[in-house]
Amino acid sequence: MGRVMRNRYRVEEADIATMRESLAAAAQAEEEKDVGYATFFLGVALWLHGDLAAAQEHMERALAMAERIGESILLGQSLLGLALTALRRHDTEAVRALAPRATEAAPDIASSEYLAGAKACLTWLAWQDRRPHDVITLSGEIAELIAGTARLGSYHGLVHLWPLIAVHLEAGHVAAAVAVSRQIPQYVPWLPGDLESALEEARQAWDQDQPGSAGERLAAAVALARDLNYC
């Protein structure tokens, strides 16, 4: 989706106001396809800002328009956006319903980034269902999809990494969990200060040959990420 936010992925009120202006301009031009995409992108901005109820409302509107006008790319993106919104709201059953539909729409979009997002939702769902093998398998598939691509183009970023860290920790594989945590800056260049500090402390503990402390701190980081609706 490119760089639509002034400060990548750290959305401010001014960014949302700009997106609302874009939607108003599209509505005034009476081009339903443009209105649909503008509605979706405003939903993404609200999602990134943490206003999940409003994000869901706009993505549902975009989905309805996509279904009405037969715009397959908008339909798929709206389904994925709704799945990611349900994920952040910890609505497992909604993710279970939406993620397969988003995956089925992938051939119409022909984007490895999009398919990675759909698989990220499936990874999270496997984590909720306590299927660690599937978490690892799906994460590997995502890594293959995004290998050599501009990873920061994806707003869903690190959704699949938290479950992967968690299952490695549950298996006692602290080294693997730390290795995954080191990937996070490649996906999202900004995190809330407390969460970034928790990850850095875990990495430092590992580098100082304190695996027990590293594991504990990483587990705390995953719990904090969940509290902050990152996973």
The answer to whether residues 100 and 165 belong to one domain is: no
pLDDT of residue 189: 60
Q: pTM score, two decimals?
A: 0.88
Rounded CA-CA distance 36/57 in Å is 13
d(CA 4, CA 197): 27
The string of pLDDT tens digits covering residues 91-141 is 999 999 999 999 998 887 778 888 889 999 999 999 999 999 999 999 999
What is the DSSP code (8-state) at residue 229? T
Q: What is the largest CA-CA distance in the chain?
A: 62
Same domain, 192 and 153: yes
Q: What is the pLDDT of residues 39-96, one digit of tens each?
A: 999 999 898 888 999 999 999 999 999 999 999 999 999 999 999 999 999 999 999 9
- The pLDDT tens digits of the residues spanning 185-205 come to 777 667 888 999 999 999 999
Residue whose C-alpha is closest to residue 122's, from 141, 148, 107: 141
Q: For residue 6, what pLDDT band results from cuts at 50, 70 and 90? A: very low
Residue 83: which CATH number? 1.25.40.10
Place of tokens 């409003």: 54
81, 110, 139 - which closes a domain = 110
Summarize the confidence of residues 6-17 as an average pLDDT: 67
Considering the domain architecture, whether residues 47 and 70 belong to the same structural domain is answered as yes
| 149 in the same domain as 80 | no
Please write the tens of the pLDDT for every residue from 152-174.
Answer: 445 666 789 999 999 999 999 99
Domain membership of residue 197 as a residue range: 111-231
Q: How much is the pLDDT for 101?
A: 93
Neighbours of 25 (CB within 10 A): 12
User: Can you tell me the mean pLDDT for 20-45?
Assistant: 87
Domain stop point among 63, 81, 110:
110
Are 95 and 119 contained in the same domain? no
Structural domain count, the chain: 2
Residues 131 and 118 in one domain: yes
Q: Which of 77, 110, 143 is the last residue of a domain?
A: 110
